[in-house]
Structure formats: C-alpha cells, structure tokens
A and B are shown apart, each in its own frame.
With several copies, the nearest count.
Chain A
Amino acid sequence: MARTLTMIEAITEAMAQEMERDERVFVMGEDIGLSGGVFKATAGLYDKFGEERVLDTPLAEGNIIASAVGASMVGLRPIAEIQFADFITPAMESIVQQASKIRYRSAGGYGCSLTVRICCGGGTGGGLYHSQENAAWFVHEPGLKVVMPSTPYDAKGLLLAAIRDPNPVLYFEHKKLYRTAKGDVPEGDYTVPIGKAETRRQGRDMTVVTYGYMTPLCLEAAEQMSKSGVEAEVIDLRTLSPLDRDTVLESVRRTNKCLIVHEDKRTLGIGGEISAIIAEEAFEDLDGPIVRITGPDVPAIPFAPPLEHAWMVNTEKIVAGMQKLAAY
C-alpha cells in the first residue's frame, strides 16, 4: 500500500523501519534525539528506540563520523547526521581519510558500512552557512557513494539501500524538498538501487541531466518547452557517485544534445564530470555544445533575498538554456 508522503516523512519512515528490522542500525548526530532533528527527520525515533539507539552527540562533526566509522568496524550500522552540509568541513578528515579509505588501506580487512545523512541546499533564506551543497568534493573520492533523492519514493528507497550498503554512503537531502516534494511511498520494504539514474521524462530533442531539487524544476521547464514542440528527456541522476554513465550516454546518443543543470557552483560542480564523460564517450553523437545551467562561482549563497534569488537556478533559467540548445 502506498500513501502520499512528504520527503521528510519518507526519510523518517525509512529509518524507523530499518531500525525495527535490524538491531545493528542506530542514529547519531546533533539534535536528532530529544528534539527530533532541526527538520524533524528523526521525529519520534527517540521515544521509540531510546537514547541507546538515537544518540545526541557532542557538537563535533569529525567525531560523529569517526565514531560511526569505528562502530561500523565492529559490525554496527550507524546512520550519522550532519545537520547542514555547511558543517561537514570539520568532518572532512573522518570522511575522506577514514571512511573512504579504511577498506582500501586494509585490503578489505576492515569495512565501513556507514550512512551519513546530510541536509543541503539553498532557496530557503538560509544564508551563507545554511545553504551549501558540497557533494562534488565527495564524488571526487572513490570509496564513497553519494546519493541525492528528488522524490519521496526515492528518498525512502535510497535510504534503505544506503543503510544496507556495506560501503560508506553520503545521503544528501535538499531541505527545499523536505515538505514540497510529495508523492506515493509504499508502506513496506523496498530499495532503490544505488548507481542507477532514473529517466523522469522521455524526449527526443535533448537530454537534461540533473538531480535533487533541480529535478522538479527541469520537469517544469520541459513541459513549457513541450508547448513549442521541443521534447526534453529529463534524467534524474539520483546517485552522484558512482555515476550512471550508461543511462546518460544512451540518452545523449539518442537526443544528440545535452543540458546539465545543478544548483551547486559551476566550476568543478558535478556537471563538469558529466560533460567530460559525454565529450569523451559520445562526442560523435553531439549536435550542439554541452550546456550547463548552474549556480554561479560565488563562495556560497548569500542571505539578502535579491542575492539568493540571483544565485538560484529556476525554471526560467533552465528554459533559457533549453532554448539555446534547441537552436542548434
């Protein structure tokens, strides 16, 4: 049975069900226990599972991850929360030098089955330090999987897949989608495979590659373009690492054009890699440049409404990109 849930409800449900199913699973992070999380992602878990399995940690992101890595090494399955992606920097050492490399450096002797939930993204007035998205750093680091759902269905399915994955998985959640993304979510158990993109809309005229909060905007833009006869195919990556090259390449080889859309800064954003893969593998199929619509090369999203608005990719900007590409 499926019901309509918001994305945040889907996330909470995934954790609750998996904790019920698997004793090894527990959650830890700042403000995830007593208060149920800044965005209420862990609401109800503390009452249900108690402090042992829903642990409010000291204010120390590096240790949240390091202690979760250690706990996973003895067979537990921690879900660690980083309250805002902006505050993941103190945990860089733990994520990149420990979580992503413990298996490799021990030749498989020690593993790290760890899920890190990270709230990210702009467009909600969060200002410079409550709006960042930095998944790109981690996509650069093999040994880590990186996912980011755009629908409640995927939010639950990807989170269950992440928790069960024997590798460290960074699970980015866009705060703007928490309550705006609503959709059918099965009550029961299911997973969405990590590493598989989803084609959200079919189209013959161009491929749009995107993920997260940009997905609904791209779909909206595609509908607008449809009115003038241009049919865009919209691919929601869902997994940012490892990238689903096949789905992207197959589509681009068919549509012969590619638009990449993300909210993160342009330079060395995920779009750079997508573009490079296409330019390398599907060059002969291209009928136009690979166009990127992205956030600007600015340190972070500023607070003042006109500045935040100027940063954010919106339907209008995406349509403009589509029109530019359609002209080829």
Chain B
Amino acid sequence: MASKSGRAVAELETEKSENGRELMLGLYQMLVKCRMCDEKARILFRQGKYAGNFYSGVGQEAAEVGAAYSLREDDWIAPSHRDWTANIIKGAPLKLCFAQLFGKATSPDRGKSTPAHMGYPPIHTITPASSIAGQLAVGTGVAFGLKRLGRDTVVVSFFGDGATSLGGFHEALNFAGVHRLPIIYVCQNNLWAESVPLRLQTALTDLSDRAKAYGFPGVSVDGNDVMAVYDAATKAIARARSGEGPTFIECKTYRWYGHSEIDPAKYRTKEEVEAWKKRDPLVLFEKVLRDKKFLTDELKDKIAKGITQEINEAVEFAEQSPYPDASELKDHIWAQE
C-alpha cells in the first residue's frame, strides 16, 4: 500500500493472473463504453435535448472503471456529480442512464433530481445530492450500516480533489477510520475544482496524505492507467471486505473538458490540456492490449459498434419517454407508513 504509483512497481499482479486477457478486455470495453456514453451525453446537451447541466468525465475513465469494475453486485457505489458513468460500470441499463439525463418519468428519479446526478437502487448506486462531500458522508453511513448488519459488502465512494477540503469529508473519513468501515475512498484528483487550482485547494502534493489523519492507508496512483487503479482498488476492496477497514486511493487524472458543459474552462492553459490528452487513458490501455495481442482492429470495431447500437437505443428510449406529470410534484416527499 505504500507505493506512490502503482504502475512504477513494474508488472501488476492482475496482469499476471490466469484470466488476464478476459479481465483486460472487459476493462477495455467498459472504458470505451464510458467514453462513448459520456461524449454522447455531451452532444445531447449541446443539441439542447435536455436542460440543467452535464459534468463530463472524459479523460478520467480509467479511474472510474478501474475502481468500480471488480465490485460485486451487492456492493455499493456513492457517486458524485462527475460519476454518471459509475452507474454504467455497476450495470445500470443505458436506457435508464439517458432517461436520467433527460429528466424523464422513466428515469430512476422520475426527473426529480438533476441530469448526471444518478443513483439506481437495484444496483446500489446512491442518488447523489449536488452538495459536494454529501455523497461521501452518506456513503460512509451506508458502510457503517453494512458493517453493523454483518455483511461483507463494501462501498466505493467517488469524489474530486475539491471535495477533500470540506468538513463533511473529514468527519466521514475520521469516522470510517475509527470503526474500520468497509469503504474505499476514490479521489479523482483532476487538478482543478471547477476553476480553483490545486495550489489554492491544498498545501499537499499528494492528496493520499489526507489519509494519514485518519489512521488508514492512502495511496496515489496514475489515474490514467486503468490497471494501476484496478490493482489498487482490488487490494483495497479485499481489505475492506475482510474487515480491515478503509483505504484512500488518489487517482491523478484530468478532465478534458470544462467543469460542466457551460464552462469554457479558460482558466487552464492549452498546453496543460494537450499534455493530458496525450495521456488518454483509452489510448494508453489500447497500446497495452495491442502489445499483448489481446486487441485487434476487428475486435475494436466490433466493440464500438455494439456500444453505438446500445447507446442509440437508449437515447431513443429516453427521447420517447414521457416527462413526469406535473401532479408528481408532491409525490415521494413522504413514505407511507
């Protein structure tokens, strides 16, 4: 757990494992799916197909996929605003994901919340509030509940560098440390919180140092290297599942686009953006797969086509779905006793 960059430690355990090929192709497919869905969500917003906003995670897919890919069905995810795709990784039907963006009656929240702030109870992803660190605090509470129930399920909590400044972050991680809760804190450090640069957010270089305040391990990994993230995550998940408690994983990564679709992101330099785009997590991983001869042009094409079709169907479903009726305004405030 001590190593600062998973990848630097040479070949990763998972790569050496028996079914490395299957696993790696699975990861690849999920990366592509997240990328394509995200780009589609952006286009749809720009086409005016839905209002509100969208927070693209393009550029950060390796962190998202690497961390969540090996979760069990009964495990939980506490996504934040940039983690719409966490639902996809956890197995939400794409139809529901796009209905969510559109705020349609067929979306899990029946149009109540906000595009991209998606949760889906059957797969245990928690519908997030927009309030940063809120989903992290509630996710920690879920981990606390699961532990009290004696389950061996775990929670993965996603959040950004900015979230680590909030009081709620601190209170949650401190509590998780005291009770060795089964939770993995996955910080996607993309160097910016909206327009606030890291140097104004924290005096730290590695956000994994935050974990030192809570008595559990913290590790910083290359967040654009899906295998590095996957490796750190599976270790952390195993640790959490066996009752040893939380792990903090900092994934150093970058978002390609603005904070949201209405942010031109002029606060960043072109050079910075270009440098990171050169480290596209998909391209990096594709190279690994090609070197290993796991991926061919043919297979790549096939994968893309399959996903395109799934997306088209999902978008169509979302478009055709009705909006919730105005009469639903007062539904779901109270539970019926």
The verdict on A66 contacting chain B, using a C-beta distance below 8 Å, is: yes
Q: Are A102 and B127 in contact (CB under 8 A)?
A: yes
Query: B314 — which chain A residues lie within 8 A by C-beta?
Result: none
Q: Flag if B127 contacts A110 (CB, 8 Å).
A: yes
| Chain A contacts for B112, CB-based, 8 A | 104-107, 128, 302-304, 307
A220 on the interface (CB 8 Å rule)? Answer: no
- Would you list which residues of chain A between 141 and 195 have a CB under 8 Å from chain B? 142-143, 164-167
Known A-B contacts A34-B197, A93-B131, A127-B114; the reply to A104 vs B333 at CB < 8 A is: yes
Chain A residues closer than 8 Å to B163, beta-carbon distance: 59
Q: Is the CB of B142 within 8 A of A62?
A: no
B333 near A62: Cβ-Cβ < 8 Å: no
Q: Tell me if A199 is interfacial: C-beta within 8 Å of chain B.
A: no
B248 proximal to A (CB < 8 A): no
Contacts of A285-328 to chain B: CB distance below 8 A: 296, 298-299, 302-307, 309-311
| A-contacting 9-mer, from B31-39, B288-296, B321-329 | B321-329
What residue of chain B has the Cβ atom nearest to residue A103's Cβ?
Answer: B332
Contact A68 B141 (CB under 8 A): yes
Q: How many residues of B contact A (CB 8 A)?
A: 74
Over the window 262-282 of chain A, the binary record of Cβ atoms lying under 8 Å from chain B Cβ atoms (1 yes, 0 no) is 000000000000000000000
Interface string of B183-203 (1 = CB under 8 A from A): 000000000011111001110
Asked whether, in the complex, the Cβ of B165 is within 8 Å of the Cβ of A59, the reply is yes
Inter-subunit contact A74/B200 (CB<8 Å): no
Assuming the contacts A74-B149, A126-B52, asked whether A60 and B165 have C-beta atoms less than 8 A apart, the reply is yes
Q: Mark B123-154, 1 if CB is under 8 A from A, else 0.
A: 00011011110100111111111101100000
Report if B278 contacts A (CB, 8 A).
no
Q: How many residue pairs bridge A and B at CB < 8 Å?
A: 261
A86 within 8 A of B: yes
Task: Write out the residue numbers on chain B whose beta carbons fall within 8 Å of the beta carbon of A86.
Answer: 130-131
- Proximity bits, B249-273, A CB within 8 Å = 1, else 0: 0000000000000010011000000
Contact B167 A62 (CB under 8 A): yes
Q: How far is the CB of B312 from chain A (nearest CB, A)?
A: 23
Please name all residues of chain B whose beta carbon is closer than 8 Å to the beta carbon of A87 when the two chains form the complex. 130-132
A56-B196, A94-B134 known, 15 other contacts, Cβ within 8 Å: A56-B195, A59-B162, A63-B171, A66-B138, A70-B139, A72-B145, A75-B149, A86-B131, A103-B332, A103-B335, A106-B332, A107-B109, A108-B335, A128-B129, A311-B329
A residues near B (Cβ < 8 Å) are 26, 30-31, 33-35, 38, 52, 55-60, 62-63, 66-76, 86-87, 89-90, 93-94, 97-98, 101-111, 113, 125-130, 142-143, 164-167, 296, 298-299, 302-307, 309-311
Chain B residues within CB distance 8 Å of chain A: 51-53, 103-105, 108-115, 117, 119-121, 126-127, 129-132, 134, 137-146, 148-149, 162-163, 165-168, 171-172, 174-175, 178, 193-197, 200-202, 263, 266-267, 323-337
